Amino acid sequence: MRAWKQTTKISLISLTIALLLPAVVFAAQAASPTYQVNEVFFGTGGELNACSTSYCSKQSAGETVVGRTGSANFQAQGGFNTERTPYIEFTVGTTNLDLGTLTPTSTKVATASFSVKAYLAHGYVVINASDPPTNGAYLMKNLTIPTAPQVGVEQFGINLVANTQPQVFGANPTQGPDSSFGFGQVTADYSSADVYKYVKGDVVAQSYLSTSYTNYTVSYLFNISNVTPGGSYLLQHDLVATATF
């Protein structure tokens, strides 16, 4: 009989943003050889930058339409206060977790959060870009297909939805300010409650449209067995967000 102890410390989330940009990223403007109109709207009262020497404001009086419209090849953002500069924004809400000591007789879970927003884009993907938890050269066994938790079996996996097993934790994605503006979604293998998966290189979240922010919660699952090597484990969970403009 040997004394058995395993400590797993989780450091997350390390963030990388990758942008795929064409040679020209700005939408065409109404222009002649002499004049150019940077923003065009129909109506009265709206202005993108109404400025004095001391203050600036964005005005939307008389605005009758707001939001995205598009086809397979073109898109437009309705509303007076639209910007013409495309961008992707990735915000991390939780950066470090300490799980303490894992045992073969119980399951450990944890959550972290991030949000993604892509403006004037044709969508984005968020990819797992790092290995499972490591202890020196040893990698904790990751789940390669969506799998239910099993105490006493070495398992590491995630999903991005609300769960009830092995306990109530996690959350479904939420759109901001609502589903009329946010279009991010979890991919199929990570969108089912109570089953978990982790494969390096997998796309875990995506949007097919220019989108306001979507808030995601990552649910982490850890199980170990009697033969899992003891020691200190580290997960540096890298998520790579890539948008195409």
Contact 48, 80 (CB under 8 A): yes
The Cα–Cα gap between 141 and 183 comes to 33
pLDDT at residue 21, as a whole number: 38
Using DSSP, state whether 95 is helix, strand or coil: coil
Strands (E), 79-193: 87-92, 96-102, 108-119, 124-128, 134-135, 138-139, 155-159, 174-175, 185-186
Q: What angle do CA 176, 10, 162 make, to 5 degrees?
A: 40
Contact 193, 173 (CB under 8 A): no
pLDDT at residue 166, as a whole number: 96
What backbone phi and psi angles, to 5 degrees, belong to 188?
Answer: -55, -45
- The CATH number of 6-21+88-244, from 3.40.1620, 2.60.40, 1.10.3470, 3.40.50, is 2.60.40
pLDDT at residue 243, as a whole number: 86
pLDDT at residue 25, as a whole number: 40
pLDDT at residue 3, as a whole number: 37
- Helices then strands, each counted (H, E), the chain: 0, 19
Give per-10-residue mean pLDDT for the chain (245 aa).
38 40 43 66 62 77 62 61 74 83 92 90 90 93 98 97 97 92 95 98 94 94 92 89 83
Q: How far is CA 27 from the centre of its chain?
A: 26
Neighbours of 1 (CB within 10 A): 3
Location of each CATH 2.60.40 domain in the chain: 6-21+88-244
The Cα–Cα gap between 222 and 216 comes to 20
pTM assigned to the model: 0.73
The Cα–Cα gap between 235 and 245 comes to 32
